[in-house]
Amino acid sequence: MSEQLSKRIFTELENLVLIDPHTHINPHSAASTTLADIMGYHYYTELAHSAGLPREVIEEPGIDPKEKVGRLVTQLGDLDNTIQLSWLLDICSEFFGFEEDAITESNWEKLYDTAAEKMAQPDWEQQVLKQSGLEQVFLTNDFDDPLEGFDTKLYIPCLRTDDLVFHLAKPETRERLAKATQLDVGCAKTLRDAVGKLFEHFTSKGARACAISLPPDFNPVAVTADQVDPIVRSLFAGDEITADESKIVSQFVFWTLAEYCAEHRLPFDLMIGVNRRVYEAGVYQGQDLYDKRTSLILYKELFNAFPKVTFPVSVLTSTSNQELVSYSWIFPNVVINGHWWYSNTPAFITFDCKSRLEAVPKTKQIGYYSDMYKLEFALPKFRMYRRVLANVLASDFVVGRNWSEQRAIDLGKLILRGNVETIFGS
């Protein structure tokens, strides 16, 4: 009974047209052009490298796309237990008619050629969007992105701010800021004005969020313009500043972003807890990890200071998830957002999903985002989440609490889509 119930709920959720609230899609090249675009996703390159394929083999400069796929295929047998490989098989089955249960050295070339033929169709991007049930896709745009040449009602701009907060000490970042804003930044006031110009540009193009990825030890506190002004003047004059001074600049810029989010009524997505370049010999995007130092207590001043700013928060671990559940339980402006990166497998999603649905108001949960770089990944990733969500709704709500099936389905739809519309606007 429970299995059939779960299947019925899943079918209803599978039919729901979605808005993906966080991706890394390039709107000028949203869909894949070869199978290498799909298998070059960092999940496959880092797993293949972890299983023994040398980085130099995976990332040889100038490697032909077909040759790269052939090299990765040699390692897929070691990965066939992973959920990530099931995404790949789902893509190949759904989009390219691949009917075998494994991609092997004997069948991959035919698959590659079939995929290339499909992807060469002029409406491939539209096919993928339709088959995936995607109505809108949120982006993560560099702060100096002109936001031109694409449909901003389909691909929703989002102001990504990591470089502004953590890399202003780099001359190229300061040059990009000057070019994007046409302002001669040289002090705290003009730096703040420049950030304001970015918000004006992004909101004029329909942006619905500001976003940033944050290390475990970042502590956002209020820094006044007077406090930071001498450091900003030195920085923009080309002088070197100390690590402590750089930290103060980061805190000032971050706080300024929150102030403009309040002014422009934009949610501020916080992705908290990633350490960069932990495994320095790793493949591209396969170097970053988390640790358990992450604590939302560092954000108490921020959450208290900006009660009108909605903070959709993503964390990397189930231990952090319990803290996030508690903060969203207490703070009206803290919203739970997706299942990020190393928590994006069914075992962790199930545990985290159950704890969220048990404890947090249902209107404060964004169930899932794909985090994808190519459109083809929305279908298998959201399908994975919908299966987990259907199982939890069936077991914990219909069976466990005697909810009606329709009531559970409605909750699932709210978590999957309704809250995205209300939290980010539509």
pLDDT score for 239:
94
pTM: 0.96
Contact 185, 178 (CB under 8 A): yes
Amino acid at 91: I
pLDDT digits 0-9 by tens, 205-215 = 999 999 999 99
Q: Which of 65, 84, 119 is the last residue of a domain?
A: 119
**Dist. CA 398–CA 374, nearest whole Å:** 36
Model confidence pLDDT, tens digit, residues 247-288: 999 999 999 999 999 999 999 999 999 999 999 999 999 999
| 201, 248: one domain | yes
Q: Are residues 299 and 231 in the same domain?
A: yes
Name the amino acid, one letter, at 122: P
Predicted confidence at residue 426, as pLDDT, reads 67
Among the candidates 72, 90, 119, a domain finishes at: 119
Mean pLDDT for 304-332 is 96
What is residue 107's predicted lDDT score, i.e. its pLDDT? 97
Would you say residue 223 has pLDDT above 60? yes
Specify whether 177 is located in the same domain as 56: no
> How far apart, in whole angstroms, are the C-alpha atoms of residue 301 and residue 256?
14
Tell whether 78 and 209 lie within a shared domain. Answer: no
Q: What is the per-residue pLDDT across 88-116, written as a single tens digit (0 to 9) for each? A: 999 999 999 999 999 999 999 999 999 99
**In terms of domains, do 219 and 101 share one?**
no
DSSP string, 302-364: HHHH-TTS-EEEEESSHHHHHHHHHHHHH-TTEEEE---GGG-SHHHHHHHHHHHHHHS-GGG
Closest CA to 230 of 197, 262, 189: 189
Reading the block at residue 85, the tokens are: 């490989």
**In a shared domain, residues 192 and 286:** yes
- Phi and psi angles of residue 214, each rounded to the nearest 5 degrees, phi first: -125, 140
User: What's residue 294's pLDDT?
Assistant: 84
For the chain, what is the domain count? 2
Instruction: State the average pLDDT over residues 81-90.
Output: 98
**140-186 residue pLDDT tens:** 999 999 999 999 999 999 999 999 999 999 999 999 999 999 999 99
* 16 occurs within a structural domain: no
Q: Give me the mean pLDDT over the 327-349 stretch.
A: 97
Alpha carbon distance 376, 214 (integer Å): 27
Residues 246 and 357 in one domain: yes
Residue with tokens 């609490």: 401
Measure Cα distances from 117 to 31, 35, 105, 114, 120 in Å.
Answer: 14, 11, 20, 5, 5
Residue 29 inside a domain? The answer is no
Task: State residue 319's pLDDT score.
Answer: 85
Domain end residue (candidates: 50, 85, 119): 119
Main-chain dihedrals φ then ψ at residue 124, nearest 5 degrees: -60, -45
Residue 254 falls inside a structural domain? yes
CATH of the domain at 248: 3.20.20.140
What's the CA angle centered on 202, arms 199 and 208, to 5 degrees?
100
Decide if 28 is inside a domain: no
Same domain, 335 and 415: yes
Residue count of the chain, please give it: 426
CA distance 334 to 327: 7
**For 214, how many CA atoms within 13 A lie in the half-sphere containing its CB?**
26
Residue 383 reports pLDDT greater than 80:
yes
Q: Are residues 82 and 174 in the same domain?
A: no
Q: Do 229 and 337 reside in the same domain of the chain?
A: yes
- Contact predicate 125/31, CB 8 Å: yes
Strand-pairing partners, residue 136, are 19
Whether the per-residue pLDDT at 380 is higher than 90: the answer is: yes
pLDDT > 70 fraction of the chain, expressed in percent and rounded: 100
Provide the 3-class DSSP secondary structure of residue 365.
strand
Mean pLDDT, residues 365-391 taken together: 98
- Give SS3 for 369: coil
SS3 270: strand
**Within a domain: 9:** no
> 150 and 82, same structural domain?
no
Contact 220, 299 (CB under 8 A): yes
Q: Confidence band (pLDDT; 50, 70, 90) for 334?
A: very high
**Residue 2 maps to a domain:** no
Token pair belonging to 294:
């992450």
Instruction: Let me know if residue 10 belongs to a domain.
Output: no
Distance CA 160, CA 154 (A): 18
Q: What is the mean pLDDT of the chain?
A: 96
The answer on 389 and 351 residing in a single domain is yes
Question: What tokens were used for 396?
Answer: 């914990």
Whether residue 47 is contained in a domain is answered as: yes
Give the domain range for residue 259. 135-424
Q: Residue 57 is part of a domain; what is its CATH number?
A: 1.10.2020.10
Answer whether residue 374 shows pLDDT above 80: yes
Coil, helix or strand at residue 29: coil
Residue 376 token pair: 């083809």
Stretch 384-397: mean pLDDT, rounded? 98
